[in-house]
Amino acid sequence: MSSAAPPRPPRSALPLQLAGLALLLLLAVVLGTGLGSVMVPPGEVLGALWRGLSGQELVGNDVIVWQIRLPRVVMGVLVGASLGVCGGAFQGVFRNPLADPYLLGVASGGALGATAVIVGGGPRPLIPAAALLGALGAVTTTLMLAREGRRLPPTRLVLAGVVVGSVLSAISTALLLRGEDRAREVLAYTLGDLGFSGWREVGAVVPYVGLGAGALLLLARALDTLQLGELTARSLGVPVERLRLLVIGAASLATAGAVAYVGIIGFVGLLVPHVVRLAFGAGHRTLLPLSALLGGTLVVLADLLARTTPLSQVGIVTTLLGGPFFLWLLRRTRD
Amino acid sequence: MNRALTLTAALCAALSAAASATTYPLTLTDDLGRKVTLKAEPKRIVSMLPSTSETLCALAACDKLVGVDDYSDYPAYVTKLPKMGGLYNPNVEAIVARKPDLVLVSKYGKLAEPLTQAGITVIAVNPETYDEVFSKTLLLGKIVNREAQAKALVTSMKREIAKVEILTKTAVNKPTAYFEIDPTPYSIGPNSFMGTLLTKAGARNIIPATMGDFPKVDPEFIVKQNPQLILGVDAATAGARPGWNTITALKTGKVINVPKELNTILGRPGPRLPQALRGLAKLVHPELFK
The mean pLDDT of B252-270, rounded to a whole number, is 94
Beta-ladder partners of B124: B105
pLDDT at B17 over 50: no
Q: Which of B184, B213, B221, B234 to probe the A interface (max A CBs under 10 A)?
A: B184
Q: Tell me the pLDDT band of B95, cut-offs 50, 70 and 90.
A: very high
Distance CA B86, CA B72 (A): 10
Q: Which of B71, B89, B187, B224 to probe the A interface (max A CBs under 10 A)?
A: B224
Alpha-carbon torsion, ordered A215, A218, A219, A221, to 10 deg: 170
Whether residue B117 lies within 8 A of chain A, CB to CB, comes out as no
The answer to whether B153 and B169 are in contact (CB under 8 A) is no
Q: Which residues lie below 8 Å from residue B179, measured CB to CB, with a gap of 6+?
A: B187, B188, B194, B195, B198, B205, B231, B232
pTM score: 0.84
Distance CA B195, CA B225 (A): 17
Q: In the prediction, which pLDDT does A269 show?
A: 92
Q: In the prediction, which pLDDT does B7 show?
A: 54
Distance CA A242, CA A42 (A): 50
Q: In the prediction, which pLDDT does A123 show?
A: 83
pLDDT at B13 over 60: no
Residue bearing the bigger pLDDT, A121 or B212: B212
Strands B26-29 and B35-38, bridge-based pairing? antiparallel
pLDDT tens readout for residues B61-81: 999 999 999 999 999 999 999
Query: Residue B86 and residue A68: Cβ atoms within 8 Å?
Result: no
Strands B204-205 and B65-68, bridge-based pairing? unpaired
Whether residue B186 lies within 8 A of chain A, CB to CB, comes out as yes
Whether residue B99 lies within 8 A of chain A, CB to CB, comes out as no
The mean pLDDT of B22-51, rounded to a whole number, is 95
- Which residue, B111, B223, B89, B54, is CA-closest to A183? B89
The verdict on ipTM greater than 0.90 is: no
Which helix H or strand E contains B187, and what residues bound it? strand B186-187
SS3 labels along A224-280: HHHCCCHHHHHHCCCCHHHHHHHHHHHHHHHHHHHHHHHCCCCCHHHHHHHHHHHHH
pLDDT tens readout for residues A18-73: 999 999 999 999 999 999 888 889 889 999 999 999 988 888 889 999 999 999 99
The three-state secondary structure class of B164 is helix
Considering only CB atoms, A38 lies closest to which of B216, B224, B246, namely B224
The answer to whether B43 and B61 are in contact (CB under 8 A) is no
Give me the residues of chain A with pLDDT under 50, please.
1-6
b/e for B209-234, b at 16 or more Cβ within 10 A?
Answer: eebebbbbbbbbbbbbbebbbbbbbe
DSSP string, B232-287: SS-HHHHHHSTTGGGSHHHHTT-EEPPPHHHHHHHT--STTHHHHHHHHHHHH-GG
The mean pLDDT of B269-281, rounded to a whole number, is 97
**Percent of chain B clearing pLDDT 90 (strictly above):** 87
Alpha-carbon torsion, ordered B223, B225, B227, B231, to 10 deg: -70
Residues of B in contact with A63 (CB under 8 A): 223, 243, 246
Distance CA A219, CA A240 (A): 12
pLDDT tens readout for residues B126-172: 999 999 999 999 999 999 999 999 999 999 999 999 999 999 998 88
CA distances B104 to A100, B47, B52, B274, Å, are: 47, 5, 8, 23
Q: In the prediction, which pLDDT does B81 show?
A: 97
- Which residue, B82, B283, B224, B26, is CA-closest to A65? B224
Q: Tell me the pLDDT band of B20, cut-offs 50, 70 and 90.
A: low
What amino acid occupies position A67? Q
Nearest C-alpha in B relative to A181: B182
Query: In the predicted model, what is the mean pLDDT of chain B?
Result: 92
Residues 118-137 on B with a CB inside 8 Å of A are: none
Query: Residue A38 and residue B86: Cβ atoms within 8 Å?
Result: no
Distance CA B225, CA B185 (A): 15
Distance CA B67, CA A202 (A): 51
Distance CA B249, CA B237 (A): 13
Q: In the prediction, which pLDDT does B262 show?
A: 95
Distance CA B217, CA B203 (A): 19
The three-state secondary structure class of A334 is coil
